[in-house]
Amino acid sequence: MKNLYKALVVIVGFVLFAPVATYAEEAAPGVMEVVAIDGTGASEPYAPLYDKFTAVYKKMGSSGQRSLWANVWAGNNAGLAIVTIEYPNMAALAADGAIVSSAEYQALSQEFFQKGYRIASRSIVVKQR
C-alpha cells in the first residue's frame, strides 16, 4: 500500500508541476552577446577570422546563433565590426564558457590580437519583449 501511495504522489506531483517547469523554460528571456570589434590597426578584414571563431563554436556544440554586422553609420563608431551571438536563455550563454577556455579558442584569440584587432566593447543584452 505504501508503494501505491508513493507512486500516486509522484504522478500527482508530475501532473501539477511539469507544466510549471515547462513554462519557466519557455518564459526565459532571449539573451544576446554583442561585441564591437575595432580593426583600425588590423592587417586584413575581420570576416575570415570570424569564420574561424564560428567554426570553433559549432564544433564545440554552441547553441548560440552568430552573426557578423558592419557598423556603417554610427558617428565615432562607424567602421566597427559587430558580432552578435543570440542564445535562447542565460544558461545557454553560460554553457559557452567552456568554449572560451578551450585551447583552440585561445589560439584564435592570440591571432585576433596579433592581427591588430581589439574589442571596443562587449555587452550582454536581455530581450524585453
* Alpha-carbon gap, residue 106 to 99, rounded angstroms: 9
What is the structure's pLDDT at 107? 96
Q: How many CB atoms lie within 10 A of CB 110?
A: 9
What is the structure's pLDDT at 9? 39
Q: Domain map of the chain by residue range?
A: 28-126
In contact, 39 and 81? CB cutoff 8 Å? yes
Domain 28-126 has CATH 3.50.50.60: no
What does the block give as the cell for 5? 501511495
The reported pTM is 0.73
Residuewise pLDDT in 10s, the chain (129 residues)? 555 444 443 444 444 444 434 444 556 789 999 999 998 877 788 999 999 999 999 999 999 999 999 887 767 777 789 999 999 999 999 999 999 999 999 999 999 999 999 999 999 999 888
> What does 14-77 look like in DSSP terms, one character per residue?
HHHHHHHHHHHHHHSPPEEEEEEEE-TT-SS-SHHHHHHHHHHHHHTT---EEEEEE--S-GGG
